[in-house]
Amino acid sequence: NAGVTQTPKFQVLKTGQSMTLQCAQDMNHNSMYWYRQDPGMGLRLIYYSASEGTTDKGEVPNGYNVSRLNKREFSLRLESAAPSQTSVYFCASSELLGTSSYNEQFFGPGTRLTVL
Amino acid sequence: AQSVTQLGSHVSVSEGALVLLRCNYSSSVPPYLFWYVQYPNQGLQLLLKYTTGATLVKGINGFEAEFKKSETSFHLTKPSAHMSDAAEYFCAVSFTGGGNKLTFGTGTQLKVEL
């Protein structure tokens, strides 16, 4: 099992460019998440998908869009990149059983994005 | 709303010494609490979690944490630090009906010195 995979690993964009970050998991998990990690701020949730066909905003959704393509894949799109979006982006997945909220999240290796 | 506070963004210990990383939470409903570890240039992995029941939770690599409701704390400890423990540690909270979403603390960088 590869677990959670993310592409690309590194990316440099100019202000105003667009790009899509890809994420895939092979653990048959229902739920997937996108976080950004900034120094001194921990991880903050951008968007999440509780199950295939649903997406919801997290704490910091502005400037991003997501697509839950199927059960395996969850992409994050920056339509017009800004320097404030320079960050490390992590995708995660977990099982979701009823209303339980204590299932382990499995994280990908991250994408390091720089916006100039 | 839930929140997590980690006291000390950087902690330094000697190899063989006690590791104590502090985490306090704020939650209006019974929380679920987690500790994750991040090694350099990697994603996060779960160390341990508290859901219900026994308040002393044991995790991987010799770490443990105790849920203290009266102190709203979930501090992470390890009796004897090893060089391989050097990493960043994150405390996180979720709650029933929250869709398994996590709210993370700002992290504590652990340095282990010879």
A36-59 confidence digits (pLDDT tens): 999 989 999 999 998 899 999 999
pLDDT at A17 exceeding the cut of 80: yes
Read off the pLDDT band of A101 (50, 70, 90): low
Instruction: Give the confidence band of A98 by pLDDT, cuts at 50, 70, 90.
Output: low
CA pair distance A16, A6, nearest whole angstrom: 23
Q: How far is B10 from chain A (nearest CA, A)?
A: 11
CB A81 within 8 A of CB A17: yes
User: Testing the interface with A: which of B93, B101, B108, B109 to mutate, by most A Cβ within 10 A?
Assistant: B101
Q: What is the tens place of the pLDDT at every residue in B81-90? A: 999 999 999 9
| pLDDT attached to residue A97 | 66
Indicate the SS3 state at residue B83. helix
Which of B4, B100, B106 best tests the A interface by mutation, with the highest count of A CBs <10 A? B100
Using 70 as the pLDDT threshold, list the residues of chain B that sit under it.
Answer: none
Measured over the CA atoms of residue A53, residue A56, residue A60 and residue A65, the dihedral's sign is positive
Q: How far is A48 from chain B (nearest CA, A)?
A: 8
Q: DSSP alpha helices (H): ranges in A28-113?
A: none
Smallest Cβ–Cβ distance between B90 and the set A43, A92, A108 belongs to A43
Produce one character per residue of A50-73: b if its CB has 16 or more CB atoms within 10 Å, e if not: beeeebeebebbeebebebeebbb
Q: Do A40 and B45 touch (CB under 8 A)?
A: no
Contact predicate B88/B35, CB 8 Å: no
Distance, in Å, from the CA atom of A93 to the CA atom of B44, rounded to the nearest integer, reads 12
In chain A, the N- to C-terminal Cα span, in Å, equals 36
Across chain A, where does the E strand assignment appear? 4-7, 10-13, 19-25, 31-38, 42-49, 56-57, 64-68, 74-78, 87-94, 106-107, 111-115
Beta strands, E only, B1-114: 3-7, 10-14, 19-26, 31-38, 44-50, 56-58, 64-68, 73-78, 87-95, 103-104, 108-113
Q: Which residues on B lie below 8 Å from A50 (Cβ)?
A: 99-100
pLDDT at B2: 81
Rounded mean pLDDT of chain A?
93
